[in-house]
Amino acid sequence: MTGGAPVAHMVIASGAVVGRVAITDDVGCEERREDSPERPSGAAMLRLALTRLAWAIPLLLAASMITFVLVALAPGDAARTILGPYAPQAQVDALRETLGLNEPWYVQYAAWLASALQGDLGSSLLTSQPVTDLIVNRLPVTLALAVGATIVCALVGVALGTFSATRGRIGSGLVDFVAVLGIAVPNFWIGIVLVAVFAVWLGVLPATGYVPISNSVPLWARSLVLPVVTLAIGGVTLIAKQTRDAMRETLGRDFIDSLRADGWSEGRIVWRHGLRNAAIPIVTGIGVFFTGLLGGTVLVENVFAMPGLGGAAVGAAVGHDLPLIQGIALTYCVIVVIVNLIVDLLYAGLDPKARIAR
């Protein structure tokens, strides 16, 4: 779970949900009474989307700037770090020249940004392959992992959480217990254990590797099972916890009693009305959690030798391949931005109050 769900855990535990609501507030979910009747839904949603996209710009700038700032700030010479302590000074100087390290960092950044905006993220220092190509090749693997794990987490977590919210002490205690385990056990370790059990011992699933979807859909799915489960295990308990709390809060509200008094069955009340209302905080939680899960792909790809962005990121960090790690970090941030946007739109779709334009 390292790098994955714990972030989400910390974030959820610390009330980022509140933060998101605050952001949406800025966008315009002001509560209105009778004076704002029919909602201008489409326009409001578009407005919301644009505002959120505008908000994403500083994030992307910060993420793309980080390498340049670090190179400028970090003690020692980046070119020396890249080439190692035994490289001749002349070679180091040459590399400094190639990388433009003699310029101030903002000049370097401006040059990089100018070509990045045209889709050119530079070339890998190690393989000379264009960074953009490498990212495009590896992105599907990481996306498949992250999206798959998110879906598994959401489905299983919501079901578990709802179950424990309605089954009182035992279900609730179980979720608490599993949640402690889920948070405590590192995901790279879970991955290795799963390999031990399902690949080495039972021999039913491949231990490592990835089959592109274009080769064979069933084999592709098979190659994803263990990594997705590994990535999802920690998150399931977090979402279950989040769901349980949201469901409890919702089921304690007056309108639920009114529905009971109106003769609706408990099942319908829980799954239709309860879940629909609880979904608002849950979706927010899933969005925050996704950021952490994305980080978790780094370790999981490593455990399962998946040719994704995470594996490349580790390689780039080891080899001090600055243009490559820079491009990868930016890609991760773009994914976060897109997912946050989807979450916000979902949120607005779920909560009628968030849909009303100012």
Partner 1 sequence: MIAPDSTAALVTPSRRQASFGRRLLRRPAAVTALVVLAVIVFVTFAAGWLAPYDPLANDLAASLQGPSAQHLLGTDQLGRDVLSRLMYGGQPSVTASLVVVVVALLVSIPVGVVSGFVGGRFDQICMRIVDLAQSLPVMVIILVVLAVVGEQFLLAYTALGLLMVAPVVRNVRGSAIAVRHELFVDAARASGVRPLVIVFRHIVPRTTGPILVQATIVASMSLLFTAGLAYLGFGVQPPNPSWGSMVAEAATVLRANPWMLVASGGLLGVTIACFSIIGDTIRDLSVEAWAQPVRQRRRGARRTARTPQAADTSVDVLQVKGLSIAYGGRGAVFDVDLTVPAGTVLGIVGESGSGKTTVARAILGLLRGSGEVSGGEILFRGTDLLTLTDRELRRLRGTGIAYISQEPMVALDPTRRIGTTLSDSVRLHRGSPRPEARRRALELLRLVQIADPERVMKLYPHQISGGMAQRVSIARALVADPALLIADEPTTALDVTVQAEILDLLRDLRERLGMSIVIVTHDWGVVADLCDSAVVMRHGRVVEEGPFEQLFYQPQHEYTASLINRARELAELPTERVVS
DSSP-H helix ranges across 252-321 = 254-261, 266-268, 275-303, 309-318
Does 40 sit near partner 1 (CB under 8 A)?
Answer: no
Among the listed residues 21, 49, 53, 66, the single contact to partner 1 using CB under 8 A:
66
Which stretch, 86-94, 155-163, 211-219, 270-278, contacts partner 1 (CB under 8 A)? 270-278
Among the listed residues 23, 156, 334, 342, the single contact to partner 1 using CB under 8 A:
23
Report whether 175 contacts 161 (CB < 8 A): yes
Whole-number CA gyration radius for the chain: 24
- Non-local CB neighbours of 344 within 8 Å, separated by 6+ positions: 20, 24, 48, 49, 52, 287
What is the three-class DSSP state of 262?
coil
Per-residue contact flags (x/-) with partner 1 for residues 279 to 318, judged by CB under 8 A: ---------x--xx-xxx-xx--xx------x--xx-xxx
Cβ closer to partner 1: 216 or 253? 253
Provide the β-strand partners of residue 123: 130
Q: How many CA atoms lie within 13 A of 218 on its CB side?
A: 0
Q: Which residues inside 142-201 make contact with partner 1, applying CB under 8 A? A: 168-169, 172, 176, 180-181, 183-186, 188-189, 192-193, 195-196, 200
Does 67 sit near partner 1 (CB under 8 A)?
Answer: yes
- Non-local CB neighbours of 350 within 8 Å, separated by 6+ positions: 276, 279, 280, 283
Among the listed residues 98, 115, 215, 258, the single contact to partner 1 using CB under 8 A:
258
> In whole angstroms, what is the distance from residue 143 CA to residue 338 CA?
12
Among the listed residues 27, 44, 45, 71, the single contact to partner 1 using CB under 8 A:
71
Q: Which residues inside 324-343 make contact with partner 1, applying CB under 8 A? A: 325-326, 328-329, 332-333, 336-337, 340
Does 112 sit near partner 1 (CB under 8 A)?
Answer: no
Q: Which residues inside 199-218 make contact with partner 1, applying CB under 8 A? A: 200
- Helix/strand/coil percentages in the chain, nearest 5: 75, 0, 20
Among the listed residues 47, 51, 53, 81, the single contact to partner 1 using CB under 8 A:
81
Does 62 sit near partner 1 (CB under 8 A)?
Answer: yes
Among the listed residues 68, 255, 245, 89, the one whose alpha carbon sits nearest the alpha carbon of residue 158 = 245
What is the nearest approach in angstroms of partner 1 to the Cβ of residue 319? 8
Does 88 sit near partner 1 (CB under 8 A)?
Answer: no
What is the nearest approach in angstroms of partner 1 to the Cβ of residue 174? 14
Among the listed residues 40, 104, 209, 352, the single contact to partner 1 using CB under 8 A:
352
Does 6 sit near partner 1 (CB under 8 A)?
Answer: yes
Does 277 sit near partner 1 (CB under 8 A)?
Answer: yes
Cβ closer to partner 1: 137 or 221? 137
Does 267 sit near partner 1 (CB under 8 A)?
Answer: no
What is the nearest approach in angstroms of partner 1 to the Cβ of residue 309? 8
Does 21 sit near partner 1 (CB under 8 A)?
Answer: no
Q: How far is CA 251 from the centre of its chain?
A: 29
Alpha-carbon distances of 277 from 18, 36, 205, 337, rounded to whole Å: 16, 22, 39, 25
Tokens representing 170?
A: 């035992």
Q: Phi and psi of 123, rounded to 5°? A: -125, 150
Task: Give one word for 205, left, alpha or beta, with left for phi > 0 and alpha for psi -120 to 50.
Answer: beta
Provide the β-strand partners of residue 259: none
Among the listed residues 129, 253, 271, 358, the single contact to partner 1 using CB under 8 A:
253
